[in-house]
Amino acid sequence: MKFFVDTADIDDIRELAETGLLDGVTTNPSLIHKSGRDFFEVVAEICKIVPGPVSAEVVATAHDEMMREADILRKIASNIAVKVPLTIDGLKTCKKLTEDGTMVNVTLCFTANQALLAAKAGASFISPFVGRHDDIGFDGMQIIEEIRTIYDNYDFKTEILVASVRHPIHVLQSALIGADVMTAPPAVIRQLFKHPLTDRGLEGFLADWQKTGQKIA
């Protein structure tokens, strides 16, 4: 499963990229706002740090205007994935852009039927938001299972990008279901490395090593 980070914070992206485990980045207008940075400047910087797909979202709601914005966004770098919302205009835009070979991430997906439409529109990625579903008392991961089944039934190439990830259990479940990608906030990715028994075990090994008085040199 590929790991994308869901942020526009350059320091976080740089630090996680150094692990060699980061396959891409997703941004959205709220994350750009949170960064306090200029949209074009920050996205261009991210594209230089991470060679994998970097999602940059259109903010128009009508197809023609989405196409105009997408044309500007895809010129930022060759690894831009244009993000469009799951609306009729968004999917029309997706179809057009993917025919040209542009990567498209269809966002704000909340049902398996919506994911089916996105795959038919040729989306490179479909982003079902699991956390926001959980927030309203629904099991968001259930949609991921349904989408996996549908995409496998018809051999769709659209990658399932689990979004709105809130905790490590979402990551685990995504991997068990066979999602292609998950995008999580930096804090959730850092949590994946951690276990108290790892810390305690390391402390014990280092303390005992110290007692041997030896060196690896």
Question: Which residue, 67 or 165, is less far from ligand E4P as judged by CB?
Answer: 165
Q: Which of 48, 75, 83, 92 is catalytic?
A: 83
For the record, the structure tokens of 119 come out as 């795959």
Cα separation, 79 vs 53, whole angstroms:
5
- In our burial notation (b when 16+ CB lie closer than 10 A, e otherwise), range 169-201 reads ebbebbeebebbbbbbbbebbeeeeeeeeeeee
Known active-site residue 83 = yes
Question: Which residue, 131 or 178, is less far from ligand E4P as judged by CB?
Answer: 131
Is 147 exposed, middle or buried, given 0-12, 13-18 or 19+ CB atoms closer than 10 A? buried
For the record, the structure tokens of 129 come out as 């938001």
Pairing of strands 54-57, 24-26: parallel
> Considering the complex, what minimum distance in angstroms separates the CB of residue 213 from ligand E4P?
50
Name 87's Cβ contacts closer than 8 Å, sequence gap at least 6: 61
Query: Given 3-state DSSP classes, what are the helix, strand and coil percentages for the chain, each rounded to the nearest 5?
Result: 55, 20, 30
Residues that bind ligand E4P in the complex, under the rule CB under 6 A: 6, 26, 28, 107, 127, 129, 131-132, 163-164, 183
> Considering the complex, what minimum distance in angstroms separates the CB of residue 30 from ligand E4P?
6
Question: Which residue, 187 or 206, is less far from ligand E4P as judged by CB?
Answer: 187
DSSP lists the bridge partners of residue 26 as: 6, 55
> Considering the complex, what minimum distance in angstroms separates the CB of residue 51 from ligand E4P?
19
> Considering the complex, what minimum distance in angstroms separates the CB of residue 130 from ligand E4P?
9
Question: Which residue, 55 or 102, is less far from ligand E4P as judged by CB?
Answer: 55
Give catalytic residue positions. 83
